[in-house]
Amino acid sequence: MSQLLARGGRRLEGEVAVQGAKNSVLPILAATLLTGDQVELRGCPRLRDVDASIRILETLGCTARWEGTSLVVDTAGLKGWVISDVLMREMRSSAIFLGAILARCGRAEISYPGGCELGPRPIDLHLSGLRTLGTEIQESGGVLRCEAPRLSGECVVLSLPSVGATENLMLAACGAEGTTTIVGAALEPEILDLQNFLNACGAKVSGAGTSTVSIEGKRPLHGCSYEIMPDRVAAATYLCALAAAGGDIYLRRAREEHFAAVTAALREAGCEIEDDGQGIRCACNRRLQRVRPVRTAPYPGFPTDAQAVLMAALLRSQGATVFEETIFENRYRHVDELIRMGADIRTAGRVAVVAGVDRLHGAPVRCTDLRGGAALCVAALAAEGETAVGEISHIDRGYEDIARDLQALGADISRLDQ
Ligand code: EPZ
């Protein structure tokens, strides 16, 4: 099993280009089904979740090939509408393919995606919205059989701003007669990236980034060449690594507007951060201070995906910081691993209290999930001695090469493929 070996104590100096966003490219890969054409995705990150999406596209009769840092997808050959249980289990967000398959084929069959390491991951909002657009859904034996011979544009109200439900409904709505309005849509920047991609393919989508998204259905869509937005969670991860280790770094392509709640917390902790329009410079040359309670929330609130890495950055801060994880039920699985490194963290349900300690020590630790694994790497850069991070396949789901990027920023970290 591969692992990462990191030694702390070194200040970070350097610059790196931020990879394309995992949470943007996954729905866009599903959206390529709508075009029945060739699509070039520039700056597509090479991730395990992208590989899983490619396998789904190929199972459905489509093709995908890498051309340098671009992924070229051709969905003209789409002939299937079933995503197998094996593929659904590989990546929980495979449910995002449902809307696009329905729009193109009029039917779809997927196994229930079920939960993941973060806790239950229901898709009831996806399904109720698809029913509103005219989809018949039979659930039996863990399989969802969906029939939508004719999708019709309607007003769909989301009871909570689900990112995946918003994206799924945007894609299904492209195949509906008339206009669909999604009220209570998620505001995340990845929703706007999806809208921009769809419009580049000839769609007419508006309102992304606000709570009301409108989609004019049944427009003839075509392929395009599109650059994936930078990954704001990867950028947040590397800023937290800087905060943990100290130094002065530059992240090319990062845009502060995508994660201002994170940069606000890091500034409060004592980092200097500047977005020059091409990227973000971050410097920190003193012990971090505790910050006001961090409560995760839908965008533009503090992103749940950055909770673990900010926690790791604050392990040696002056004072204590309170975290409240409001989005997922089980997103503190990295805490026990951080405690093995000397962290002082207490959790009670959705609340975690991080009391800063003077020193952390390297230890053998293992990833429990994607962002928890990234947090272990951040903490390792602030620990004395060596940390061996195991189970790094979790990290590979969302980071192209976390060791490569942190090395570019001056960290002493390397990957050991065994
Ligand atoms: C997306 O997941 C992201 N994944 C997640 O990133 C991210 O944490 C999450 O949005 C929140 O920002 C991708 O984009 C691929 P949600 P998603 O639907 O769409 C509940 C990472 O680390 N809910 O906004 O699954 C749900 O249980 C990953 O990169 C329902 O109750 O998130 C959760 O509590 C992790 N019913 C909340 O809404 C539904 O039908 C937010 O979920 C759907 C969701």
Which residue stretches of 201-331 are H helix? 232-245, 260-269, 307-313
Ligand 1 centre and the CA of 10: distance in Å? 35
Kindly state the helix (H) or strand (E) to which residue 129 belongs, with its residue range.
helix 124-132
Compute the distance between CA of residue 118 and CA of residue 80 in angstroms, rounded to an integer.
Answer: 30
* Residue 386: HSE in the Cβ half-sphere, 13 Å Cα cutoff: 7
pLDDT at 136: 98
Reported confidence tier of residue 39, pLDDT bands at 50, 70, 90: very high
* pLDDT at residue number 117: 86
Is 0.95 surpassed by the pTM of this model? yes
> What is the sign, positive or negative, of the torsion defined by CA atoms of 45, 46, 52, 56?
positive
Q: What band does 93 get if pLDDT is binned at 50, 70 and 90?
A: confident
274 pLDDT exceeds 90?
A: yes
How does the average pLDDT of the chain come out, rounded? 97
Cα angle: 42, vertex 19, 195; to 5 degrees = 55
Residue nearest to atom 39 of ligand 1 (CA): 123
From start to end of 115-234, where are the E strands? 136-140, 143-147, 155-157, 179-183, 204-206, 212-216, 225-227
The alpha carbon of 201 and the centre of ligand 1 are apart by a number of angstroms equal to 26
Closest CA relative to residue 117, chosen from 313, 296, 334, 295: 334
Mind listing the pLDDT tens digit for each residue in 102-128? 999 999 999 988 778 899 889 999 999
Q: Whose CA is nearest to atom 4 of ligand 1?
A: 23
Four-residue CA torsion sign, 59, 62, 63, 66: negative
Nearest residue to 28 (alpha-carbon basis) of 53, 3, 46, 51: 53
Q: Where does 279-361 have alpha helices with state H?
A: 307-313, 335-340
Going from the Cα of 149 to the center of ligand 1, the distance in angstroms, rounded, reads: 28
Question: Which pLDDT score is estimated for 418?
Answer: 80
Distance in Å, CA 164 to ligand 1 centroid = 6
Residue 10 pLDDT more than 90? Answer: yes
pLDDT digits (tens, 9 = 90+) for 250-265: 999 999 999 999 999 9
pLDDT tens digits for 136-168?
999 999 999 999 999 999 999 999 999 999 999
Residue 299 near residue 307 (C-beta atoms within 8 A): no
Q: Whose CA is nearest to atom 6 of ligand 1?
A: 305
For ligand 1, what atom is nearest to the CA of residue 128?
40
Task: Give the mutation target among 48, 162, 194 for probing the ligand 1 site: most ligand atoms within 8 A of CB.
Answer: 162
Looking at the annotation, which residues are catalytic? 116
Burial of 196 (0-12, 13-18, 19+ CB in 10 A): middle
How far, in Å, CA of 110 to CA of 131, rounded?
Answer: 16
The verdict on the CB of residue 305 being under 6 Å from ligand 1 is: yes
Checking if the pLDDT of 235 tops 80, the result is yes
CA of 401 from ligand 1 middle (Å) equals: 24
Q: Is the shortest distance between the CB of 121 and ligand 1 below 6 Å? A: yes
Q: How confident is the model at residue 91 (pLDDT cuts 50, 70, 90)?
A: confident
Cα distance between residue 194 and residue 203, in whole Å: 11
**Positive or negative CA dihedral for 90, 67, 168, 207?**
positive
The band of 69, judged by pLDDT with boundaries at 50, 70 and 90, is very high
Nearest of 258, 357, 251 to residue 311 by alpha carbon:
357
Residue 253 gets which letter from DSSP?
A: T
For ligand 1, atom 30, the nearest C-alpha belongs to 122
- Residue whose CA lies nearest to ligand 1 atom number 16: 162
In sequence order, what are the beta bridge partners of 74? 38, 63
407 CB burial (10 A radius; 0-12, 13-18, 19+): middle
The pairing of beta strand 351-355 with beta strand 364-366: unpaired
Per-residue confidence (pLDDT) for residue 116, from 0 to 100: 82
Does the beta carbon of 92 sit less than 6 angstroms from any atom of ligand 1? no
Tokens, residue 406: 């942190």
| Mean pLDDT value of segment 242-246 | 98
Contact between 416 and 5 under an 8 Å Cβ cutoff? The reply is: yes
Q: Is the CB of 194 under 6 A from ligand 1?
A: no
Pairing of strands 344-348, 351-355: antiparallel
pLDDT of residue 92: 80
Which runs of consecutive H residues, i.e. helices, occur in 249-361? 260-269, 307-313, 335-340
As a whole-number percent, the residues of the chain with pLDDT over 90 amount to: 96
Q: CB burial class (10 A; 0-12, 13-18, 19+) of residue 330?
A: middle
* 57 neighbors 73 (Cβ within 8 angstroms): yes
Closest CA to 308 of 170, 44, 117, 42: 117
Atom 37 of ligand 1 has which residue's CA nearest to it?
327
Pocket test for ligand 1, best of 137, 158, 327 (most atoms within 8 A of CB): 327
For residue 98, what pLDDT is reported?
97
Cα 368 to middle of ligand 1, angstroms: 18
- Please state the atom number of ligand 1 nearest to the C-alpha of residue 93: 15
From the CB of 304, is ligand 1 less than 6 Å away?
yes
Instruction: Please give the pLDDT value at position 153.
Output: 98
Higher pLDDT, 416 or 90: 416
